[in-house]
Amino acid sequence: MYIFALNVTKDMPNVKVIDMTQPTTGCLHDYVVTPDDMKNLEGAQFLITNGAGMESFMDKVTSQMPNLQIVDSSKGIQLIKGEGDEGDNPHLWVSITNAITQVGNIGEQLSALDPTNAAKYKENTNAYIKKLEVERDKMHQTLDSVKNRDIVTFHEAFPYFAQEFNLNIAGVIEREPGSEPSAKELAETIDEVKSLNVKALFAEPQYPTKAADTIAKETGAKVYTLDPIVTGPMDADAYINIMDSNLKTLQEALK
């Protein structure tokens, strides 16, 4: 959300954007609010969130800050339901179409909450959405025609991405990042990869590739790196640059 916020507030010296998490944090599954976070929130007017339950750990904190306006970027996005007791999948932004909706939501809600700057928010939002649309068109032109559509991913970050590009996630190596799959789960994934003749396993740059390497060794599939954009450079062009890199990886892996 930080990258999206940078673009929506571009060239607005009276608006300061603070990233609550470090660029190396990764997904927020186990994030704990720090004293610095509390200080930043107490001085903030708006908190821009991904929504869809991603920031549920913040609910107790924000409920005690009645003057803090929440900008929920997930409005209007159809969520993918989790299995069993799992909640909705919150990794919305990994789909570039969802990202466009999120940017639009941020711009629209900031314009309503801060009408003095509404025209600039709208201008910036439209400009960034145009860039995202160009990238989306390029990705679809490449990926819509690939014949090999079965993939195995590292964790549950890519269902929205797969949905957008009509890819089949044949297996997930770690349901929760950092939790090694059991021997049974590993064996099931290996069997699935073999039965579907899956050629590509996608690890993530934020986590070790031990389990993926084991599956690759047993099946002959190759390990590639696909970035869910939860770490990395925090500049305004980072989302599009990483998506472009992901496109090149997929083009190579699915040929």
95 & 129 share domain: yes
pLDDT at 233: 86
User: Are 126 and 190 in a shared domain?
Assistant: no
Q: pLDDT of 96-147, one tens digit each?
A: 999 999 999 999 999 999 999 999 999 999 999 999 999 999 999 999 999 8
Verify that 128 and 241 share a domain, yes or no: no
Amino acid found at 83: E
Same-domain pairing of 67 and 39? yes
47 is in which domain, residue-wise? 2-141
Which alpha helices (DSSP H) does 144-182 contain, by range? 159-164
Residue found under tokens 């890199």: 245
**What is this structure's pTM?**
0.94
Given the structure tokens 């993530």, which residue do they identify? 204
Instruction: Quote the pLDDT of residue 199.
Output: 92
Are the beta carbons of 231 and 25 closer than 8 angstroms?
yes
| Structural contact between residues 46 and 69, judged by C-beta atoms closer than 8 angstroms | yes
Please check whether residues 100 and 6 belong to one and the same domain. yes
Asked whether the beta carbons of 34 and 20 are under 8 A apart, the reply is no
Nearest to 152 by CA among 111, 208, 106, 213: 213
Say if residues 174 and 107 touch (Cβ distance below 8 Å).
no
The DSSP secondary-structure symbol of 116 reads: G
Per-residue model confidence (pLDDT) at position 25: 52
> Distance between CA 142 and CA 147 in Å, rounded?
11
**Partners of residue 168 on adjacent β-strands:** 150
Are 119 and 215 in a shared domain? Answer: no
Instruction: pLDDT tens for the chain, 255 residues: list them.
Output: 999 999 999 999 899 999 988 765 556 766 788 999 999 999 999 999 999 999 998 999 999 999 999 999 999 999 999 776 678 999 999 999 999 999 999 999 999 999 999 999 999 999 999 999 999 999 999 999 998 999 999 888 999 999 999 999 999 987 676 678 889 999 999 999 999 999 999 999 888 889 999 999 999 999 999 999 988 888 999 999 999 999 999 999 998
Same domain, 112 and 158: no
Supply the CATH number for residue 8's domain.
3.40.50.1980
pLDDT of res. 121: 98
Structure tokens of 86?
Answer: 């799992």
**Is the same domain home to 234 and 218?**
yes
Same domain as 231, residue 122: no
Statement to judge: residues 158 and 108 lie in one domain: no
Instruction: Look at residues 121, 141, 161 and tell me which one is the last residue of a structural domain.
Output: 141
In a shared domain, residues 108 and 159? no
Domain end, chosen from 141, 159, 192, is at: 141
Same domain, 134 and 218: no
Domain boundary among 141, 158, 178: 141
Count: domains in the chain: 2
Give the model's pLDDT for residue 178: 64
